[in-house]
């Protein structure tokens, strides 16, 4: 119970937030109880779940500052079975607060330890960087989903991410815990562009069975949904991207059942 998955890639705009909210929505439709943790200052996941950034005072970053606990900031979204620990933009003093903490890599991990039992899946939307916040996300996670955009230079930066994952795996060994690469997700494939398929082959050659069978197509409905602050799976349930995210959710569940 309570499988914690980080959606991480320090490269910007590869589909982390889109994956976090649509996977959450699709898993919730399969009757799972979901917690989304928004760890990005851009607070995109918070907005995309229809939560007005002006409607709350404290955010996940205040948890890092030890000012509040999860219970104080938890928001029940409009979507059935999805709760959100929201992020806020313009929060000062986070890095300093984290650096000053001797337990700095385990802050999120320790808060989630009991809390995750209330959920079937906890999805963490990571920021586009490999700093303390992402390390906290990875340490708190059982697995990481790496979205990779099917475009030129897709592999760029993946070595750095894999190194960070290895470092976190070593940190977690202390608690006899592990962090797996749960899956590599190919995103925004434009079927009209042949180089996209070359990227698909390149990633499959490197990551082999780690690559999810589901590939998310580039689909304008997906970005339109972001504009309206909704997962595409609700905005346009029959769109290609929506159908793909539903398929992805089934793959995620099946990997979980296989252990």
Ligand X SMILES: Nc1ncnc2c1ncn2[C@@H]1O[C@H](COP(=O)(O)OP(=O)(O)OP(=O)(O)O)[C@@H](O)[C@H]1O
Q: Which of 6, 9, 10, 17 is close enough to bind Mg ion by CB under 5 A?
A: 17
Q: In the complex with ligand X, which residue's Cβ is closer, 226 or 256?
A: 226
34 binds, among Mg ion, ligand X, none (CB under 5 to 8 A by kind): none
How far is residue 125's CA from residue 23's CA, in Å, rounded to a whole number? 11
Which helix or strand (DSSP H or E) is residue 83 part of? Answer: strand 82-85
How far apart (Å, rounded) are the C-alpha atoms in residues 141 and 105?
12
Q: Which residue, 16 or 116, is less far from Mg ion as judged by CB?
A: 16
Residue 17 contacts ligand X per CB under 6 A: yes
- Give how far Cα 8 sits from Cα of 15, 231, 255, Å: 10, 19, 18
Count of beta carbons in the 10 Å neighbourhood of residue 80: 12
Q: Is 16 in the site for Mg ion (CB under 5 A)?
A: yes
Q: Which residues pair with 82 in a beta bridge?
A: 34
Q: Six-digit token pair at 46?
A: 């918070």
**What three-state secondary structure class fits 181?**
strand
* Residue 13 contacts which entry, ligand X, Mg ion, none (Cβ below 5-8 A, type-dependent): ligand X
Q: Hey, which residues between 39 and 58 contact Mg ion (CB under 5 A)?
A: 44
Instruction: Report if residue 14 touches ligand X, rule: CB under 6 A.
Output: yes
Regarding 229 and contact with ligand X (CB under 6 A), the answer is no
Q: Say whether residue 187 binds Mg ion (CB under 5 A).
A: no
DSSP 220: H
With respect to Mg ion, which residue has the nearer C-beta, 17 or 187? 17
129 binds ligand X (CB under 6 A): no
Beta strand 82-85 with 75-76 is: antiparallel
39 scored as a contact of ligand X (CB under 6 A): no
73 class by beta-carbon count within 10 Å (0-12 exposed, 13-18 middle, 19+ buried)? buried
Which one of the spans 10-18, 133-141, 226-234, 250-258 is the region binding Mg ion (CB under 5 A)? 10-18
The binder of ligand X chosen from 28, 36, 188, 215 (CB under 6 A): 188
- 47 lines the binding site for ligand X (CB under 6 A): no
Q: How many Cα atoms are found within 13 Å in the side-chain-facing hemisphere of 37?
A: 32
Residue ranges binding Mg ion (CB under 5 A): 16-17, 44
User: Which residues form the interface with ligand X (CB under 6 A)?
Assistant: 12-18, 40, 42, 44, 128, 187-188, 216, 218-219, 222-223, 226, 241
């Amino acid at each position: 119970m309570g499988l914690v998955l980080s959606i991480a890639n320090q490269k910007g705009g590869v589909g982390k937030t889109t994956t976090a909210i649509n996977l959450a929505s699709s898993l919730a439709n399969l009757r799972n109880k979901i917690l989304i943790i928004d760890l990005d200052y851009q607070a995109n996941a918070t907005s995309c779940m229809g939560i007005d950034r002006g409607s709350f005072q404290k955010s996940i970053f205040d948890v890092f500052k030890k000012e509040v606990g999860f219970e104080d900031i938890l928001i029940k979204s409009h979507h059935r079975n999805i709760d959100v620990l929201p992020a806020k933009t313009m929060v000062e003093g986070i890095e300093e607060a984290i650096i000053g903490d001797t337990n700095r890599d385990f802050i999120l991990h320790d808060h989630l330890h009991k809390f995750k039992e209330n959920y079937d899946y906890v999805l963490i939307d990571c920021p586009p960087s490999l700093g303390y916040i992402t390390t906290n996300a990875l340490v708190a996670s059982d697995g990481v989903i790496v979205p990779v955009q099917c475009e030129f230079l897709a592999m760029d930066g993946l070595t750095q991410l894999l190194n960070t994952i290895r470092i976190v795996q070593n940190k977690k060994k202390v608690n006899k815990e592990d962090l797996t690469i749960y899956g590599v997700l190919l995103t925004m494939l434009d079927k009209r562009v042949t180089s996209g398929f070359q990227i698909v082959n390149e990633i499959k050659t490197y990551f082999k069975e780690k690559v999810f069978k589901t590939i998310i197509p580039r689909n304008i409905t997906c970005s339109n949904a972001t504009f309206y602050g909704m997962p595409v799976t609700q905005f346009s349930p029959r769109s290609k991207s929506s159908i793909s995210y539903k398929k992805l959710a089934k793959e995620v569940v099946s990997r979980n059942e296989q252990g």
